[in-house]
Amino acid sequence: MNGKTMDLFKFCLDADQASGSYAIQDLNRLSAELFASEGELVWNFSGGRHQIGAPELKLHIQAQVKLICQRCLTPYVETLDSVSTLVLAKTEEQADELEERLNDDSIDVIVVSPEQEYSVLIEDEALLALPVSPRHATCPDGFKAEIINEKPVSPFAALKKLK
């Protein structure tokens, strides 16, 4: 990652917008979760103020990433398209107070420093957008899931035969 920083509080208060992209291979934590590190992640920031007056950042990321299907263990492409609303706080105490005032689970309150490395927020959002259990919608034709209709054999069955 490039280590660029931004004053996100000023960015939000000025209602600025910014966008860009990163090569996925440059996002180390994200790359570690993928089958292949090819492609790019496109991001967009939009600043403003939340209804309660706190700085608010909308973050939108888009990428196509290659994962391993947990069903058939073959690679497939997953489209990430995530939009998050982040309310910014300067301290943990302020974050707790904002969380209480917001009372909205769809909005995350995060603590950021005045000169925040924004690539970290972008990579965090991409990691959160990954599926917990990656799977094809429909696995390739060669894959047949084993369906076991039998009861599992009890480990005590052998003891029963000794009677």
What are the pLDDT digits (tens) for 53-81? 899 999 999 999 999 999 888 999 999 99
When pLDDT is cut at 50, 70 and 90, the band that residue 127 belongs to is: very high
Nearest to 111, CA basis, from 59, 57, 61: 57
Question: For residue 3, what pLDDT is reported?
Answer: 62
Using a 10 angstrom Cβ sphere, with 0-12 exposed, 13-18 middle and 19 or more buried, the burial of residue 113 is exposed
When pLDDT is cut at 50, 70 and 90, the band that residue 82 belongs to is: very high
pLDDT of 163 > 70? The answer is: no
For residue 129, count other CB atoms closer than 10 A to its CB.
20
Question: For residue 1, what pLDDT is reported?
Answer: 45
Question: For residue 151, what pLDDT is reported?
Answer: 60
| Contacting residues for 22 by C-beta, under 8 A, at least 6 apart | 1, 40, 41, 43, 119, 122
User: Which residues is 133 bridged to in the sheet?
Assistant: none
When pLDDT is cut at 50, 70 and 90, the band that residue 147 belongs to is: very low
pLDDT of 149 > 60? The answer is: no
User: Starting at the edge strand that comes first in sequence, how are the strands of the sheet with 40-49 ordered?
Assistant: 17-23, 40-49, 55-68, 75-89, 107-111
Question: For residue 43, what pLDDT is reported?
Answer: 96
Which range has the top average pLDDT, 2-6, 47-51, 105-109?
47-51
When pLDDT is cut at 50, 70 and 90, the band that residue 2 belongs to is: low
